[in-house]
Amino acid sequence: MTESLPRISKAVIPAAGLGTRFLPATKATPKEMLPVVDKPAIQYVVEEAVAAGLDDVLMITGRNKRPLEDHFDRNYELEEALSKKGDQNRLAKVQESSDLATMHYVRQGDPRGLGHAVLCAAPHVGREPFAVLLGDDLIDPRDPLLARMVEVQEQHGGSVIALMEVEPDQIHLYGCAAVDAIGESDVVRVTGLVEKPEQADAPSNFAVIGRYVLDPGIFDVLRRTEPGRGGEIQITDALQQLVTGSGEGGPVHGVVFKGRRYDTGDRGDYLRAIVRLACEREDLGPEFRAWLRRYVTEEMQAP
């Protein structure tokens, strides 16, 4: 009898960053709590993990991140006030985030990079493959990416990263992958990885976006990974070692994503995400779209 593999159930969300691009908003509020329409950005990410069947969520936090823990916890005072008023609608909204997943938290301590943040998850994750979701990347729920990555990991083993083609002049903002086709339309074999290369040195225009399904062998590799770009321990450098076979945890495959992604770590993209998602909302959309249409017309007529 063949033993079936344990299903991937754990998601790790690094959330220890300082959010300096959004100062002063992030002086006393974690950037993950900034609202995208009326929900904090981090809730979309946890919902995405849960939608892919990963309901054990470990957040890697740091100083000043208490609001994250509070958001995914009960708020009895608020719940009582809303139920006294009979406001079931808002009560459901308050309870939604605390009922979503089993949440765990660990603090990173020293901010030594994304690779180091992922390494903080080792005791919790143990020996199972697990997912990593970066909070700055918001994937539209209608374009499921993580579930496909889990499927590819179960099929090929090893580790799986998410890739997206970007304009060549944007590649310096991302990890970049050299790839080989394997005869599947949305899956490639990764043959090399480099963190934020100059355009001239980039092996391709395949950017790594913030979703990973990793073999636990990555932890041993991360323990040996020296600080790289920016003096930080980079997950991209550890993955490169899996690609070259110098660590257990490979091979590395890439799922090529063609859906809607918003980089909520960038102010312009953050605003675009809000406008797009607000337009599509049943409750807010009709009125907001009508206003937006008038606004754009006026803007175009302006001298």
Query: Under the rule (CB under 6 A), what is the footprint of ligand G1P?
Result: 114, 134, 136-137, 174-175, 195, 207-210, 234, 236
Write down the least CB distance from residue 120 to ligand G1P, Å: 16
CA distance 288 to 175: 36
Answer whether 218's CB lies under 8 Å from 118's CB. yes
Write down the least CB distance from residue 14 to ligand G1P, Å: 8
CA distance 261 to 273: 9
Dihedral sign, CA of 206, 209, 215, 217? positive
CA distance 57 to 146: 14
Cα torsion for 37, 26, 116, 125, to the nearest 10°? -40
Closest CB to ligand G1P among 82 and 190? 190
Closest CB to ligand G1P among 160 and 207? 207
Write down the least CB distance from residue 64 to ligand G1P, Å: 18
Write down the least CB distance from residue 17 to ligand G1P, Å: 7
Write down the least CB distance from residue 288 to ligand G1P, Å: 28
Write down the least CB distance from residue 102 to ligand G1P, Å: 26
Pairing of strands 35-36, 39-40: antiparallel
Peptide bond into 216 cis (omega under 30): no
Closest CB to ligand G1P among 32 and 137? 137
Closest CB to ligand G1P among 129 and 254? 254
CA distance 50 to 218: 23
Write down the least CB distance from residue 209 to ligand G1P, Å: 5
Please state the length of the chain: 303
In angstroms, what is the C-alpha Rg of the chain?
Answer: 20
Closest CB to ligand G1P among 48 and 97? 48
Closest CB to ligand G1P among 82 and 209? 209
Closest CB to ligand G1P among 218 and 278? 218
Write down the least CB distance from residue 189 to ligand G1P, Å: 18
* Residue 72 per-residue DSSP state: T
CA distance 9 to 49: 9
Closest CB to ligand G1P among 97 and 174? 174
Burial of 88 (0-12, 13-18, 19+ CB in 10 A): exposed
DSSP assignment of 161-212 equals EEEEE--GGGGGGSEEEEEEEEEETTEEEEEEEEES--GGG-S-SEEEEEEE
